[in-house]
Chain A
């Protein structure tokens, strides 16, 4: 396990003590990194070195480290999650870098996501959008048999394409307007596509888009940066779908 060639990298990392601190970039060296290290394991190694020298380690959000919980959130060299297609930063591996590289690491930057510390931001605005209507109002118990509603495979598949969103917020971080339209559009579309969600579709799209605006997210001006940043490859067609649902709701 130790016969890998190792890399040395220069990291330029955003450090910010708390929400009111101005924050600044600091430079660190990552040593003995192999191609099999994940990006976060590389940061773990840097942190171990920092702790041994009595310095505060870099704090960052992470949990499952397999690309599904949506907790990790770093802008690497200007791209949310590092810019590898359909990849969260926890699944980014160091084989994508080479010895001697300099890597810039920053938090999500968006008006609706205040920085808490270093690379950690507050994404509770995304929860608020879901609370505004990202559900069907069914009760626990007393629902029909699962096969009572027929949903042909292409319809179920399209809903699933939208439902894959992990709620990481990379779409917002990637958007020049700090817009959450891809996030919101994905949930609005999933539930508008499925028969179970159609009844509340009009109220849902109105409430969710209102909340989106209240939380300080910007609007969509068709840059498609969200789709490029999305680790699940959620398609911008769901933004178009949300706009159609919104128009329908206006006349409903």
Chain B
């Protein structure tokens, strides 16, 4: 099937305005008759629930954490982009649009990206009005910093905790609506199924994580804002609870999964210290504004104390390879370059898996106080984890899985191929193409939640009669029973291996064979090993306790089972895409280490349809057209 993204046509700068006008409206008095479910309360979900509640819809919001304030958007450090051009350095909506398309290696839709760039400015205003304490100068004006993949300073920030402050802004707006009664909040609930009746999304099945009870909720539209899936690599920068489960359940109910192989490996994370490790910690990309990345030129220097290695024995490889962007090369490029140096035997720290991020020059130039002012909390975090002082010796960094550009397929209205199912934020695939630029995730989450879904959901709801299906419909009962049956099956196995052991195993396979670089051979290895692991899981997993209580093992077992199934699709997508683009690097397709795209054969969105257990999924394509940005080789040299 050739998929249609339903993008508006005509001059790109008019597309969103024209589309907004063309969308049908729901009369204010009728809005309260519609129920909307929002799953996930990060930037996209929190902002959507608050904004839809304010418009007058009846909103039910869900999160697995104990409070909507804790979603993993909170961990974003560096900042949020907007095309304000406050520094007068040449930025514009067009430039942000252009940088995002190019940064995504020409694998995103033009119209979606234009809209994102256009509403970026509204987001900053909105957050300021909420009381988000963005960084400012002494006169009181908003301050900006630079980020990777751009030659202008367009990133707004709140110290090193921008994600936290933006999320607390959305959470405060959401709290206001909860108080007003327009949003009903359900915390400690995990979505375990999507209820589809006659091909239309009608509700969800959730597990109450405190009591273990299954609960059903019906609505006229369901919005998934359930985040990304890079915990499929086990060790990642994601929170422990981040999973593919909600998206995978929706996929199994018919929603197409687009570009799962586009995963982002963030270049600056604290290297792994041991096998027991549960997660990796990211150090903001903003550090690359003032930190210089290097490894020793000579292998024999790798064991030395970095301060004893003289200047001329250091290889500042990003500055050498990419002189015009230097240390601010985009993430995919910086990550691969780090891997290249380490593979060449010039990595530092345990196992030779690390590169230096050195603030020595900046401290000499600006003083330690200025560096502390800019990144103090990051240096503190680094010291807590590594017991090393980043002011005194260079930090050690290594790339780690961080973000998923792929996600459920949506059209321009953020609606999936299942009518009534909308997908927001990282959970969808829409704007980052094959690689996301720094400080753009926060922008997308809030754009989708505050400024896109409030319009586009109305266009859908205006065409449907409210309240057609209620939870007494047999499909709700069926979904609850299916979920319970699966959980009982897991609980009954009583095997020898813990859930963590399986998660480490699947993560290991994925990192080894489908991580920063992939080959036909490595992917085919995974496609043999994963089904065997899946089979073993269902015979040998050990889950303690029962389903009728708070049971974290059971929660993790479900997520792990879904990750194992999903990892196969990810590998399949990576295998079919015989090109390198952005975060998807196939070693066979390169030009001296640079990704080699194949625009003739792969300039499309690959969206997979689930065909049943043990059946091959079917690939559908949405061709990508570039009318405004010239399809070119992406160069940062």
Contact = CB atoms under 8 A, between A and B. Distances in A.
The size class of the interface chain A forms with chain B is 35 or more
Interface string A62-100: 111111111100000000000000110001010100000
A151 to B, nearest CB: 5
A93 B278 CA distance: 13
A145 B141 CA distance: 11
A65 B165 CA distance: 18
B172 A134 contact: yes
Given A149-B128, A152-B136, A68 B75 contact: yes
Contact of B69 (A127, A138, A149, A191): A127
A163 B168 contact: yes
A75 to B, nearest CB: 17
Given A44-B500, A71-B66, A135-B172, A57 B553 contact: yes
B54 A139 contact: yes
A41 B276 contact: yes
B305 interface: no
B544 A93 contact: no
Contacts of A64: 70, 72, 74-75, 239-240
Interface in B141-183: 141-142, 158-159, 161, 164-165, 168, 171-173, 175-176, 178-179
Contacts of B165: 160, 163
B122 interface: yes
B66 A130 contact: no
Contacts of B74: 64, 68-69
Contacts of B351: 1
A78 B181 CA distance: 39
Interface string B111-129: 0000000000010111111
Interface string A145-167: 11101111111110110011011
Nearest to B160: A68
Given A67-B381, A120-B550, A131-B179, A163 B72 contact: no
B385 A68 contact: no
A42 B553 CA distance: 17
Interface stretch (A47-55, A170-178, A217-225, A234-242): A47-55
B161 A68 contact: yes
B450 interface: yes
B75 A197 contact: no
Contact of A69 (B72, B282, B454, B542): B72
B179 A68 contact: no
Contacts of B122: 141
A137 B175 CA distance: 11
Given A57-B544, A64-B74, A196-B130, A146 B66 contact: no
A63 B159 contact: no
Contacts of A38: 278, 385
Contact of A140 (B54, B67, B171, B384): B54
Nearest to A37: B276
Interface residues of B, number: 84
Interface string B313-355: 0000000000000000000000000000000000000110000
B138 interface: yes
B226 to A, nearest CB: 14
A54 B553 CA distance: 12
Residue among A126, A138, A146, A163 with max Cβ neighbours from chain B (10 Å): A146
Contact of A40 (B66, B171, B278, B380): B278
A164 B54 CA distance: 27
A194 interface: yes
Given A34-B274, A64-B72, A150 B67 contact: no
A161 B75 CA distance: 17
Nearest to A91: B384
A123 interface: yes
Given A44-B276, A45-B276, A146-B125, 5 more contacts: A41-B277, A69-B65, A69-B239, A140-B451, A146-B127
Name the 7 nearest CB pairs between A and B, nearest first.
Answer: A150-B140, A135-B172, A143-B129, A138-B129, A36-B273, A160-B133, A159-B133
29 contacts: A1-B273, A17-B549, A18-B549, A34-B274, A35-B387, A37-B274, A59-B552, A65-B278, A66-B282, A66-B381, A67-B381, A68-B74, A69-B75, A71-B70, A117-B549, A122-B66, A124-B187, A127-B67, A131-B178, A136-B172, A140-B454, A150-B139, A151-B140, A152-B140, A153-B135, A155-B140, A156-B133, A167-B69, A194-B131
Interface of B: 47, 50-51, 54, 65-70, 72, 74-75, 84, 86, 122, 124-142, 158-159, 161, 164-165, 168, 171-173, 175-176, 178-179, 185, 187, 210, 239-241, 272-279, 281-282, 350-351, 380-381, 384-385, 387, 450-451, 454, 498, 500-501, 542, 544-545, 549-550, 552-553
Interface of A: 1-2, 4, 17-18, 34-38, 40-41, 44-45, 48, 50-52, 54-57, 59, 61-71, 86-87, 91, 93, 95, 116-117, 120, 122-124, 126-127, 130-132, 134-141, 143-147, 149-157, 159-160, 163-164, 166-167, 190-191, 194, 196-197
